[in-house]
């Protein structure tokens, strides 16, 4: 089955089909009572192919500028005094000297899975899933929410998994879509609560910032 899935993955036209199975693969890989070498090999191969296609460049974000009009600032008035001219020049210099902010790190190819590269590999696969999420059927979205609930579980201490902050943030990125899907809103709300509990348990401020925001928006959208 794993070999067939990778053959489908190699054909870009069939990638959405493979993508729909990512939540099940990740859950089985992390929650299986025994090691699954075939599944691990499939995940490594998919990660390496995505790393090869993405190259070495990470996505970047240019911070909003106050030099010109935008949704963040009003247009700069025409300079009428010397101080205004200096202010305009200062803003232009600030804009020219700004460095784009890198959004995460690009996927890295790996040879074998270990404690260091396991979470980055899974983060790459979940990020790939989220890129296709608008094309995924509802059954896969519900499975995605179930994956978040199961992996974030902190009720049974012996089975608590170590999850990285980037992976948890990717989980939340997918849940933002699921929370607005009418057929999986209830399950997505449960998953959000589970991830919030996990972030509180692990004291992860970056994740808590996102979960609290989503919970607040959810409460405003559904006061009852």
Query: What pLDDT band is residue 176 in, cutting at 50, 70 and 90?
Result: very high
The DSSP output letter for 73 is B
Across the strands, what pairs with 73? 70
For the chain, the average pLDDT equals 84
Tell me the two tokens of residue 5.
Answer: 């899935």
**What is the arithmetic mean of pLDDT over 176-192?**
94
Rg of the chain over all Cα atoms, to the nearest angstrom: 21
Angle, nearest 10°, between helix axes 118-131 and 165-178? 20
Residue 76 has pLDDT above 60, yes or no: no
- Closest to 46 (Cα-Cα) out of 143, 113, 105: 113
Residue 70 has pLDDT above 70, yes or no: no
């899975």: which residue's tokens?
113
Looking at the chain, the whole-number percentage of residues with pLDDT higher than 90 is 63
Alpha carbon of 179 to those of 26, 195, 208, 221: distances in Å? 21, 14, 17, 11
Alpha carbon of 181 to those of 123, 193, 200: distances in Å? 23, 17, 26
**What is the arithmetic mean of pLDDT over 61-80?**
56
B/e letters for 147-180, b = 16+ CB within 10 Å, e = fewer, are bbbbbbbeeeeeeeeebeebbbbbbbbbbebbbe
Q: Which of the residue ranges 18-22, 66-70, 82-86 has the most confident prediction, judged by mean pLDDT?
A: 18-22
**What is the arithmetic mean of pLDDT over 76-81?**
51
pTM: 0.80
Query: What pLDDT band is residue 188 in, cutting at 50, 70 and 90?
Result: very high
Residue 33 has pLDDT above 60, yes or no: yes
Q: How confident is the model at residue 105, as a pLDDT? A: 73
Residue 69 has pLDDT above 70, yes or no: no
Across the strands, what pairs with 70? 73
**Rounded distance, CA 50 to CA 8, Å?**
14
Pairing of strands 101-102, 60-61: antiparallel
Instruction: Quick: pLDDT tens for 85-123.
Output: 555 566 566 556 556 665 667 788 999 999 999 999 999
Instruction: Quick: pLDDT tens for 42-66.
Output: 999 999 999 998 876 666 666 656 5
- Closest to 21 (Cα-Cα) out of 107, 106, 125: 125
Cβ distance 41 to 112 under 8 Å?
no
């Amino acid at each position: 089955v794993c070999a067939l899935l990778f053959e489908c993955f190699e054909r870009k036209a069939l990638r959405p089909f493979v993508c729909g199975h990512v939540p099940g693969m990740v859950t089985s890989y992390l929650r299986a009572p025994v090691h699954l070498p075939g599944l691990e090999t499939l995940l490594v191969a998919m990660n390496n192919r995505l790393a090869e296609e993405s190259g070495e460049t990470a996505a970047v974000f240019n911070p909003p500028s106050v030099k010109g009009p935008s949704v963040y600032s009003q247009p700069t008035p025409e300079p009428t005094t010397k101080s205004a001219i200096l202010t305009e020049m200062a803003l232009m210099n600030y804009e020219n000297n700004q460095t784009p902010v890198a959004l995460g790190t690009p996927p890295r190819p790996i040879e074998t899975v270990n404690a260091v590269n396991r979470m980055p590999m899974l983060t790459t696969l979940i990020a790939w899933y989220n890129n296709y999420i608008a094309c995924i059927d509802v059954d896969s979205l519900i499975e995605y929410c179930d994956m978040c609930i199961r992996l974030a579980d902190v009720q049974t201490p012996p089975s608590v998994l170590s999850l990285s902050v980037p992976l948890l943030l990717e989980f939340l990125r997918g849940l933002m879509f699921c929370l607005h899907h009418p057929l999986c809103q209830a399950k997505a709300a449960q998953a959000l609560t589970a991830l919030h509990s996990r972030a509180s348990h692990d004291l992860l401020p970056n994740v808590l910032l996102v979960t609290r925001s989503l919970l607040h928006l959810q409460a405003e959208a559904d006061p009852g």
